Each structure stands twice: as C-alpha cells, then as structure tokens.
C-alpha cells in the first residue's frame, strides 16, 4: 500500500562534520512519491535526495534510516515503487543506477546491478528506468517507464530476466515517450495500461505469458487504472476521457471530463472506494470523483482542491498514496498528508514531523548531503532550502 500538516522547527543552527546548516524547511525533505505499508510502519524515500525514511503510522513521526550506496546523496527521484519480500525492501530504480535493497532485520543497505548483463544500446538515452513493480512467488517484476522490457528478478537465485513486450506497431503508436506508470494486480495477473498507446498489457506471472488488449480510441494513453469488482476504470495520460473497460466482454465506454480539464497528464492516478472512483490530479487542480452506482449515467464532480496555484516541491498537485476499506491517503504539493474517510470527509491533514530521538542521525545525514553538494560542481550554482547561501559560505570557510 502506498502514502503526509505544519512542522514549526524554527531556525535551528547545527555544526556537524565541519558544515553548518539550518533546519528551516525540514518538511520538504519528507516529500515522497512512494510509500510502503508493512503493517507497523510506512516506508518512503525522499523525492529530492538519497534518503530512506520510516514513519510511525499512528503519529506520523518520521525517522531517517539511511542512504543507498553507490548513488549520489543529492540525486533526486531515485526510486519509485517499494516491494517487500522476506523482510527485505526492494526499491524500483527510476533515476537510480541500481535496484535499492534494505534488509529490515540486519539494517543493511545494498544494491543490485540490473544493467551489467543487459544488452541495451539505449542506456545512454534513458532518463527514466522503471516505475511500477510487484512481487509474485519470490519474483519481482519491474515495469519500465522508458526502457523497452519488463525486468523479472528471481530473488532466491538472483537471476535477472528480460521480458520483451515491444514491437514495431507499439513503438510507432506510442506518444509521449514513456511506457508504464500505474498497474493493477489481481493475484497472479498484472494489468498494465500503456501511457502512450490505447491498450492494456496483461501479464500472467505464473508463466509470464502476455496479451495486449486495445482499449478506447487511438491517439490516447493511460496513466493508471483501478477496478470496481466488475469493470476497470482508466484515467488518461493523453486526452481528457476516462474509459470504463469490461475485460471479460472486451467492451468499453468513454466518459468525457467536462469540468475545466484539457491537455496531457491531467491525472496522477485513480482508485475505487465504496462505489466512487477517485481521479487524483497531476496537472489538474482538483480531485474528481465519479459515482459509479448508476450504470447508465456517470456524474463527474469536483472534490477537494489545492489551496493555491503556485507549485511546491512537486510537479504534481497530489500524489495518491494508498487506501484500505475505510480511508484513502493523499499527499499534496505543499507536503501535506490527507486522510480521507469513505464518506469523502478529510479526517486528518498535517505535515510529517521528525522524531526528536532521530535528530542526531538526521543532522549527520544533512551534513553529509551538504558536503556532497560542495563537491558536486553542478549543484553549487544555486541556493536550495536544504543549503542556503549562508551555510554554503560557512562550509567553505570551515573546510579551508
């Protein structure tokens, strides 16, 4: 399952490892695009930096756990989805060079090289590697954002397998330059909507057999899909129509979004809760809902909206984090976490807070991060919240 109030830490000056820094916008460090629920904690990686955090599910207090080896500390959007298998967390590499691994028992970080034995002449042209992932029977499947294969990792024997799905027709029809963003898993079956093709890939993880189904109109693509028990609902990556698809009958209906929406990548994702489909916006400014109890007319209405029009740390207005039978979790561009109940009421909204017991470990990480920024010439020509100009000057003085 995937998953964020005001933290007023003031202006706290620390001197660790020769660098001085301020924790003046600590909540931005806790911005994320992945969230994994292990039953006791939520786990996530930082959107902007190489850091793994663990959050208490009850009080939303956050702890810095550590950083991944062989990746820069100041690299952004390293990992997408998180998958657990036998008490180890596996992190889908989006910008990262390796699959990240964290052993919850030994508390050791490691990584897995998925490129070494792959013959891919496009490596130097790839910006985004993989995005969605899932596990079945000891195998982790990483679905590509820009790469041209699904990566299957058999954990117990450490074997990597490429599953090819592309052909000339798909490559010619694909618009937008990416393959997959959201997937839907039913037992051993994965349904993966194409971002730039009006089609859905069905993968049977028992035998790795694939089928591709045409859905909707040509010249469109989908960001995500959800299931209401009978029909799939697909939100557009390109265009402004939601598609209801009955897989068994292979029939589909298109529902035009008429409430102030046009353009590409309007929505980050979708989910279904109690006969309501939620459309989580990316470029769009509001969450939309579709009441699906009436099978003849579907009313799309605006739900909650962001509080201002200025972009925060995110490109997206909201990030869908997850849900269970009673509530849904959303994270917005101002790094507020929402908990929404099944009656569509916001029952909790706040920012994440650093656990005071974790202050020393967190501060040590920030000091290491600032040192990395100093050493990385490409990252020293602008000021950021994590490294304001006065701290940069202090670091230069202390290191000379």
**Per-residue model confidence as pLDDT tens digits over 328-343:** 888 988 888 999 887 8
- Asked if 330 and 319 count as a contact pair (C-beta separation under 8 A), the reply is yes
**Per-residue model confidence as pLDDT tens digits over 119-147:** 555 555 678 999 999 999 999 999 999 99
**Per-residue model confidence as pLDDT tens digits over 70-88:** 999 999 999 999 999 999 9
Q: What is the pLDDT of residue 80?
A: 95
Supply the pTM of this predicted model: 0.87
Q: What is the pLDDT of residue 155?
A: 97
- Asked if 98 and 70 count as a contact pair (C-beta separation under 8 A), the reply is yes
304 vs 71, higher pLDDT: 71
Q: What is the pLDDT of residue 378?
A: 55
Q: What is the pLDDT of residue 320?
A: 83
Strand ordering across the sheet containing 337-341: 318-323, 327-332, 337-341, 346-350
Confidence of residue 12 (pLDDT cuts 50, 70, 90): very low
State the pairing for strand pair 61-66/52-56.
Answer: antiparallel
Confidence of residue 8 (pLDDT cuts 50, 70, 90): very low
- Asked if 45 and 51 count as a contact pair (C-beta separation under 8 A), the reply is yes
3-class SS string, 243-284: EEEECCCCEEEEEECCCCCCCECCEEEEEEECCEEEEEECCC
In the predicted structure, residue 307 carries a pLDDT above the cut 80: no
The percentage of residues in the chain with a pLDDT greater than 90, rounded to a whole number, is: 55
In the predicted structure, residue 11 carries a pLDDT above the cut 70: no
Least confident of 88-102, 170-184, 288-302: 288-302
In the predicted structure, residue 25 carries a pLDDT above the cut 60: no
Instruction: Locate 383 and state its tokens.
Output: 């000021």
Contacts of 389 (CB under 8 A, 6+ apart): 383
Q: Cβ atoms within 10 A of the Cβ of 234, count?
A: 29
What is the distance between the alpha carbons of residues 62 and 385, in angstroms, rounded to a whole number? 19
Contacts of 211 (CB under 8 A, 6+ apart): 201, 202
Least confident of 20-34, 89-103, 193-207: 20-34
Please report, for residues 13, 16, 261, 384, the alpha-carbon distance to residue 394 in angstroms, rounded to integers and kept in the order given.
12, 12, 48, 15
Q: What is the pLDDT of residue 203?
A: 98
Confidence of residue 21 (pLDDT cuts 50, 70, 90): very low
Highest mean pLDDT among 128-137, 255-264, 343-352: 128-137
Smallest CA-to-CA distance from 329 within 122, 54, 37, 40 is with 37
Please report, for residues 8, 93, 197, 209, the alpha-carbon distance to residue 200 in angstroms, rounded to integers and kept in the order given.
45, 23, 8, 14
Confidence of residue 285 (pLDDT cuts 50, 70, 90): confident
Region 52-62: mean pLDDT is 94
Taking all residues of the chain, what is their mean pLDDT, rounded to a whole number? 84
What is the distance between the alpha carbons of residues 187 and 341, in angstroms, rounded to a whole number? 26
Q: What is the pLDDT of residue 274?
A: 83
Q: What is the pLDDT of residue 395?
A: 59
Q: What is the pLDDT of residue 116?
A: 65
What is the distance between the alpha carbons of residues 136 and 40, in angstroms, rounded to a whole number? 22
Smallest CA-to-CA distance from 3 within 43, 38, 35, 51 is with 35
Contacts of 393 (CB under 8 A, 6+ apart): none
Instruction: Locate 366 and state its tokens.
Output: 């920030």
**Per-residue model confidence as pLDDT tens digits over 226-237:** 999 999 999 999
């Amino acid at each position: 399952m995937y998953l964020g109030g005001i933290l007023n830490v003031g202006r706290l000056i620390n001197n660790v490892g020769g660098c001085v820094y301020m924790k003046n916008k600590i909540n931005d460090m806790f911005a994320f695009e992945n969230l994994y629920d292990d039953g006791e904690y939520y786990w996530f990686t930082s959107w902007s930096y190489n850091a793994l955090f663990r959050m208490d599910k009850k009080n939303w207090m956050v702890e810095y756990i550590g950083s991944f080896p062989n990746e820069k500390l100041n690299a952004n959007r390293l990992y997408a989805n998180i998958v657990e298998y036998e008490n180890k967390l596996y992190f889908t590499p989006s910008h990262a060079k390796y699959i990240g691994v964290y052993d919850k028992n030994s508390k050791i970080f490691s990584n897995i090289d998925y490129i070494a034995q792959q013959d891919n002449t496009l490596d130097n042209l790839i910006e985004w590697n993989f995005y969605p992932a899932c596990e079945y029977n000891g195998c982790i499947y990483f679905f590509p954002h820009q790469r041209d294969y699904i990566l299957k990792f058999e954990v117990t024997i450490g074997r990597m397998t490429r599953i090819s799905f592309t052909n000339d027709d798909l490559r010619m029809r694909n618009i937008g330059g990416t393959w997959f963003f959201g997937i839907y898993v039913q037992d051993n079956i994965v349904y993966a909507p194409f971002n730039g093709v009006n089609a859905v890939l069905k993968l049977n993880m028992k035998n790795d057999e694939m089928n591709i189904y045409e859905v909707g109109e040509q010249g469109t693509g989908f960001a995500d899909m959800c299931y209401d028990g009978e029909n799939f609902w697909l939100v557009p990556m390109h265009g402004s129509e939601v598609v209801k698809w009955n897989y068994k009958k292979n029939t589909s209906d298109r529902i035009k979004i008429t409430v102030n929406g046009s353009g590409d990548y309007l929505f980050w994702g979708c989910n279904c809760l109690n006969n309501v489909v939620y459309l989580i916006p990316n470029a769009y400014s509001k969450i939309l809902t579709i009441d699906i109890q009436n099978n003849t007319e579907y009313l799309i209405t605006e739900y909650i909206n962001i509080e201002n029009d200025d972009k925060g740390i995110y490109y997206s207005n909201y990030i869908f984090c997850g849900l269970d039978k009673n509530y849904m979790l959303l994270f917005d561009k101002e790094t507020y976490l929402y908990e929404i109940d099944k009656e569509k009421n916001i029952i909790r909204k706040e920012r994440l807070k650093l656990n005071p017991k974790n202050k020393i470990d967190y501060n040590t990480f920030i000091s290491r991060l600032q040192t990395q920024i100093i050493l990385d010439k490409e990252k020293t020509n602008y000021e950021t919240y994590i490294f304001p100009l006065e701290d940069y000057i202090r670091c230069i003085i202390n290191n000379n």
